[in-house]
Structure 1
Amino acid sequence: MGDGTSRRVEEWSFRQGRMVASHRNVPEEVPIAFSYGGSTHAVMMATPADLVDFAYGFSLAEEIIVTPEEIVAVEPIEAGAGIDVQITLKDAKAEALTARRRRMAGPVGCGLCGIESIEQAARQVARVKESAHRLTPEMVAEAARLLGDGQQLNRETRAVHGAGFYRPGKGLLTIREDVGRHNALDKLVGAVLRAGVRPQEGAVVVTSRLSVEMVQKTAFLGCPILIAISAPTALAIETADAAGISLIGIARGDEFEVFTRPDRVTTGEASDVA
């Protein structure tokens, strides 16, 4: 076993026409339950690290909380093959979540819960607050490079995603990693919330493709710029445009593509932006 985030296993590598016995570090993946007031709300398969950050980010993305102060306590507890993250909310939030559960559980068999799930997946998010902060092309490249360089677990395993918060002039303030791209971003959101960092003053950068959930989570954080090394989906572009987020994809080396709000990337040449 490793430090709880990875494990060393035997493998057989095929190299130069020969099969050779070897070893490799692989990431741990365990069930993580999020329980509010003693009731399990969701179970995620995730890397068992930064679980307090994960709880805050997940709670914000699920619209269970609006501010970090609405969580009173977070306690991860070993539970057989997984971990039960027990979250205590302020009374008003706990009562609102209980009422929400009753609404979802009430109309059994009518199909309403399925409709609610679909609406939740495709939900629109509020526009992020405008910010005077801009990135240069060099900053975009730096953010992507620093995230790759800073992924310690991925260097060991080559099997996890990363999410970081970049601030011009200060580099990457925080990095979080997980086997799931959504989990890595939830952990990052929680870390930024708990640190009291102003999300309007930087950019979220991720190693994954830009699915709509990644845009939604960035919007809930209130960050106006999202950078990824891969391309976005059509729905991600629509959602980012509606939320006022600059969506930057395929950031590799010194090249990238901007899909929404190109005004936040400044090159000093007005003709660059159509």
Structure 2
Amino acid sequence: MKLELESGKAGYQERQVIRHRGADAARTIDRVIEEMPVALVFNGISHAVMMVTPRDLQPFAMGFALTEGLVARAADVFDIEVREHARSFEIEVTIATEDFVQLKQQRRSMAGRSGCGVCGIESLALLDLQPQRIDAAPLPGAVQPAIARAASELGQYQELQRATGGVHAAAWCSADGAVVKVCEDVGRHNALDKLIGHLALASVDMRRGFVFMSSRASYELVRKAARMNIPMLATISAPSTLAIDIATEAGIKLLSFCRHDGCVEYT
């Protein structure tokens, strides 16, 4: 599938503010991260509305379709068209008939907030908490040197974080920790979907590297990684118990509290 290049989006807006420092106050300009509703429409049927930073929306749609299990492979996504409205976006995704039939059978209505990947799900039965074991070998080499390198390199790629201080980053790293690609978003799960979408569109083998994230390790991040056979997920902040359980069951190495001088291995 060949996608048209999206028009350049800053991902933030400039707003007038009053900056206070001690007894002093000064009017200035601040850069604030954008958060907008993005409707995902599959074969003409609305599936979800997510709150997203409006950049990398085509990779976001591809990643969402893959990590939510809506399509089995990237080749099943035939077209992605982004439509911009006054204060929202709509993404029209065309998928294979067999995937669409399954989607209609499992259809859910989801109003996704920036901090949650499963808000609005209709029933507990739709939560997929039992992943299959991933089809990926453990990464070669020692863990800590790779984590140290990823932690030291991540900051230079966090363009939106430097501008606004209000986004999460998802980085794709080679086995030795070199940062290859970074995506940012107001939501951590959106950042991961954008990253996975980029990797899928570039036909990257996701079994041969790992994801490093600036967030905590939550359930939905591990579940998305499991669907893509990613062998290792590393995060700067703490994991949840469900994230550890899902990673253990899937065979994913989960590392948290990752810094240049250490990390904690949970699985």
TM-score (norm 2): 0.87
Q: Judge conservation of contact 1:147–1:164 (CA < 8 Å) in 2.
A: yes
- Of all paired residues, the percent bearing the same amino acid is 35
Residue-by-residue CA offset, 1:62-102 (whole Å, 9 max, x unaligned):
2110100001000001133211100001222223323333x
- How big is the shift at 1:170? 7.5
Matches within 5 A, 1:46-195: 46-101=52-107, 117-121=123-127, 123-136=129-142, 137-169=144-176, 171-195=178-202
Q: Confirm or deny that 1:228 pairs with 2:243.
A: no
1:100–1:234 distance in 2 versus 1, CA, 3 Å: closer
- Of the three residues 10, 17, 25, the one matched with 1:19 is 25
| Of 91-100 and 77-86, the range deviating more from structure 2 | 91-100
Q: Judge conservation of contact 1:144–1:228 (CA < 8 Å) in 2.
A: no
- How big is the shift at 1:22? 1.7
Task: Give the aligned residue type for 1:130.
Answer: A
Greater gyration radius: 1
| Of 156-165 and 60-69, the range deviating more from structure 2 | 60-69
Q: Judge conservation of contact 1:131–1:224 (CA < 8 Å) in 2.
A: yes
Count of equivalent residues: 249
TM-score (norm 1): 0.85
Residue equivalent to 2:264 = 257
Residue-by-residue CA offset, 1:177-229 (whole Å, 9 max, x unaligned):
00001100111111111111111111111110011111001111111100000
Q: Judge conservation of contact 1:61–1:220 (CA < 8 Å) in 2.
A: yes
- Of the three residues 208, 213, 238, the one matched with 1:206 is 213
The structure in which a higher percent of residues are helix is: 1
Residue equivalent to 2:46 = 40
Q: Gapped runs of 5+ residues in structure 1? A: 106-113, 261-274
Q: Judge conservation of contact 2:141–2:176 (CA < 8 Å) in 1.
A: no
Residue-by-residue CA offset, 1:23-53 (whole Å, 9 max, x unaligned):
1111111110000111110000100011111
